[in-house]
Structure 1
Amino acid sequence: MNVVDASDAASVWSIPEPKFIDVLDSDAQTLAEHVATCEAVLDTLPPRPGRDTSQQRLAEAAFAASRSARRGFLALHTDAVYDVLTEGRSRYVRLPNLVQAAAERFPGLVPTPAQMASERVFIQAERDGREIDQAIFCGAVLRSRVVGTHLIDAMLMPTPRAEQLLGDFRATGRVELKSVHIERRGHVAHVTFRNAHCLNAEDNQLIADMETAVDLVLLEDRVSVGVLRGGEVEHPRYQGRRVFSAGINLKDLRSGAISFVDFLMGRELGYIHKMSRGLLTEPAGVMASDRFTQKSWIGAVDSFAIGGGMQLLLVLDRVIAEEEAFFSLPAAEEGIVPGLGNLRLTRLTGARFARQVILGGRRIRMTDPEAALVCDDIVPAKDLDETVERAARELGAPAVAANRRMLNLAEEPLDHFREYLAEFAVTQAARAYSADVLSKVEKRWQRSQSRA
C-alpha cells in the first residue's frame, strides 16, 4: 500500500464538489464517482490505529467530503431512492435490508458490507465511524413523511423469526431464546431478561431476542397483557437477585459490538415501538385499529432500571417497582443520547425534572416523591408478584386496549416520533464515535478489567 505523507495532506481539498442536476441516475453516477475518489485517498492510508496526525487529518477530510456529497444527493433524491429500493413502496423492507440494498443499488450512498466488515476488526475508538454514513441515510429517510412512514410500518411488522416460532409458542406456551424467556400463564405472557452475565444489560442479542418476544406476545390471541421483568444475575453484588436492566452494555460499546442499525435504531423502530404503537398485522387497513394489534404492558422492576432499562419503562402501561429500586438515565455520564428518553420523559415529569435526570444524572429512588411520576406502584419486594398479578387482571379488561391506543395517539403522534427519530439517528451515531464518549467508555472498561 502506498502510504500518503504529510505533503499530500492537502490533496483531498482539491476534490471538486459534485454538481448534481436533480436527475436520479445522473446524480447517482456523480455521487459514486465522487465517493470513489474520496475512497481512493483513504486506500493510500493505513488503518486508523496506524496513522500519524497528518494522515488522520487527511482521512477526516476525505470522509467529510464524501459525507457532504451524500447529504447533497439525499436532499434531492431520498424519496426516489427509497422507491427504487422498495419497488415503489410495494415491498416492506426492514432497515438492515434497506441499508444493504442501498449499498448495492447506489454505490457510495452508504458503506458496503466489505467496508463495514473491515471496521469490525477494530474496537470502537480505532474505527473511522462508517456507521455515521449509515445514519445520514437513515436520517434522510425518516425526515420524509412519505417514505419515513413507510419504513416505520416495515419495522412494525412481525419478524420472520417470530413467525417461525409462533406455532411452538401457541402449542407449549413457552419459548427459550438466548437472552430472553417467554412464558404464557393464562392471558398473561411473562417476558424475562436472561442476560445474567451483564446485569441484564442490552446488547445486539438482547435487542433481537426482545423483538422476537414482543412479536410472539402480540401475535398470540390468548394473550392480552405482557409483563417484562429481569431475571436473576451473576454479578457478585447482586448474586441470585433479580435485576431489571443495567442499560446499554458499555463493554460491547467499547469493543464495537453495539450496532447502529440493529441496536441503536433497531430497538427504537422495533420492539419498543411495537409495545407502544402495536404490531402491524394488516398493512392495507385504513384505520389504525384495523392495522395494528396492540396489548397492554407491565414492567416489574427489581433492583434498578438504568439507561435503556428506564427508557423502556416510559412506554409501558403500568410500572411496578420494589421499594428499594431506583431508576436513572445516565446520559451525561455516558455521553450518548438516551434513546427516546428525551422525547418521552418530559411528558411524564415535566421539562425541569427531565433535565435534572438527563442532563444532571439525577437518580430517581422509589423513596423520592417524584418516583410517582414514573412509577405506578411501589411495594415491598415480597409483594411484587401479587401486585403484578392484580395489575394484569385490571389491564386485561376489554376496554383497556382501545383506551391505551387513544392515549398513545394523543401522547406521541406518529409524525412527532418520526421527526425526533430522524434527528436521533444522526446525533446518536456521531455521539457514539465522539472523543469524550470513547474516552469514558475506555476508562470504564479499564476499571472493570482491574477489578477482574
Structure 2
Amino acid sequence: MESNSDDSDAIAGEFETLRTERTDDVARIILDRPDDLNTITPTLLEELSTAIDTLDADSDVRCLLLSGAGERAFSAGAELSALAADGMTATDGVELARTGQQTFGKLDACDTPVVAAIDGFCLGGGMELATAADLRIATAGSTFGQPEHNLGLLPGWGGTQRLSTLIGESRAKEIIFTGDRYPASEMADYGFLARVLDGDEAFGSAAMELAEQLAAGPPIAQKYTKRAMRAGRDDTDAGLEIEAHAFGQLLDTTDFTEGVNAFGNDEEPEFTGR
C-alpha cells in the first residue's frame, strides 16, 4: 500500500530495507523490499526496531501504520537464504528468533496504536509481524499462512504465542500445523482481520482513515488500554489492577474534560494527550 498523500514527509532517518513517512500525526512504516516480496532479513529487523523506538517516543505521532511496498506482498516472511546460510548454528538460530521476538514485541508493547495494512502475501514472519499490530485490515485478495511446518520449522517470532491469544488456540494450531494458505475472508471470520476491502484505491483510503481515527483518539487512554490488555493475557487480576488505576488517573486528565464537554455539546473531541 503506497502513500496516497502529497503531504507525506520522510522521517526517522535513512534505512536500507524500509521507509518511514509522516502525514500529520500518522507515521507510516513501509517494508521496502518489493522485488523480494518484502521478506524479512536481520537488517530489516534491526532497522524496524530502530524505527519503532524512534516513532513511539515522538509525542506528535499518534498512530503507526505498517504496510509493504509494491503490489504483491505485505511480507512473504523470513528471507530463507538468511535461515539456510552456511555456518548458521543452533545458537545463531536462537539469537535470530529472539531478535524477531523482541522487535515485533515492541509493536505489541508500544504505547502508540498500530494498524497493519495488508495487501498481498502475508506469510510466515510477515504474518507474525501483522499479528503484533493492534488492528489489521486487508484487501480481499490477500493471502495468509504460517508455512513454517512445511520447512520443518515453527513460527519463531512470536507466532506460537500471539496468534493463539488473538484467534484462539484451536484456530492457531490449525493454521500452524497445516501450513495451509488462507484467504482474507476466512481470516476475517477467524477474528484475525478487522476489515476486508475490495479495490486497492478503497483499501489505501480506508487504511489511512482508520489510522487517522485512532490518531484522533485520547493518547493517554489508548496507552493504558494497551497496557491493561497486555498484562491481562497472562494474569487477569494484573490487567484489572492496571485498568482500575488507569481509570482513576484518566478522570484527572484534560482529555477527559474535553471528551465530556464535546459529548455534551454534540461535538467531536480534540484530544491533546494531557
The TM-score with structure 2 as length reference comes to: 0.74
Deviations 1:394-417 (A, max 9, x none): 22201322212211221256xxxx
- C-alpha distance in 1 between matches for 2:63 and 2:178: 35
CA contact (8 A) 1:299 1:318 kept: yes
Find out whether 1:205 has 2:38 as its counterpart: no
Cα distance, 1:316 vs structure 2: 1.1
Larger Rg: 1
Q: Name the structure 1 match of 2:84.
A: 254
The answer as to 2:145 corresponding to 1:332 is no
User: Tell me, which stretches of 5 or more residues in structure 2 are unaligned?
Assistant: 1-8, 236-274
Tell me the alpha carbon deviations over residues 36-75 of structure 1, each in whole angstroms, 9 at most, x when there is no partner: xxxxxxxxxxxxxxxxxxxxxxxxxxxxxxxxxxxxxxxx
Q: Distance in 2 between matches of 1:405 and 1:257?
A: 40
Find the residue that maps to 1:175 and give its secondary structure: coil
* CA RMSD after TM alignment: 2.1
Which position in structure 1 is the counterpart of 2:206? 387
Instruction: For residue 196 of structure 2, give the secondary structure of its aligned residue in structure 1.
Output: strand
**The one of 207, 219, 224 aligned to 1:402:** 224
Q: Structure 1 pair 193/342, CA: closer, same or farther in 2 (3 Å)?
A: same
The answer to whether structure 1 residue 265 and structure 2 residue 87 are counterparts is: no
Q: Which has the higher helix share?
A: 1
Partner residue in 1 for 2:74: 244
Preserved CA contact (<8 Å) 2:41 2:78? yes
Aligned with residue 319 of structure 1, among 125, 133, 136: 136
Pick one of 59, 64, 72 that aligns with 1:226. 64
Aligned residue in 2 for 1:411? 233
Write out per-residue CA displacement over residues 421-452 of structure 1, whole angstroms, 9 at most, x where no aligned residue. xxxxxxxxxxxxxxxxxxxxxxxxxxxxxxxx
Structure 2 distance, partners of 1:182, 1:275, is 15
After TM superposition, the structure 1 = structure 2 runs for residues 126-137 of structure 1, keeping only pairs within 5 Å, are none
Instruction: State the alpha-carbon separation in 2 of the partners of residues 300 and 317 from structure 1.
Output: 11
Q: 1:393 to 1:199 in 2, by over 3 A?
A: same
Amino acid at match of 1:333: N
Quick one: which amino acid aligns to residue 57 of structure 2? L
Amino acid at match of 2:24: G
Change (3 A) 1:261 1:343: closer
Q: Cα distance 1:203–1:256, how it changes in 2: closer, same or farther (>3 A)?
A: farther
Cα distance in 2 for partners of 1:383, 1:265 equals 37
- Judging by fraction of residues, say which structure has more strand: 2
SS of 1:191's equivalent? strand
Q: TM-score, normalised by structure 1?
A: 0.46
Shift of 1:387: 1.1
Given the alignment, which residue of 191, 205, 208 partners 1:373? 191
**SS of alignment partner, residue 211 of structure 1:** helix
**3-state SS of the aligned residue for 1:342?**
helix
For 1:219 and 1:322, the matched residues in 2 are separated by 30
2:21 aligned counterpart, secondary structure = strand
For the Cα contact (< 8 Å) 1:175–1:183, is it kept in 2? no
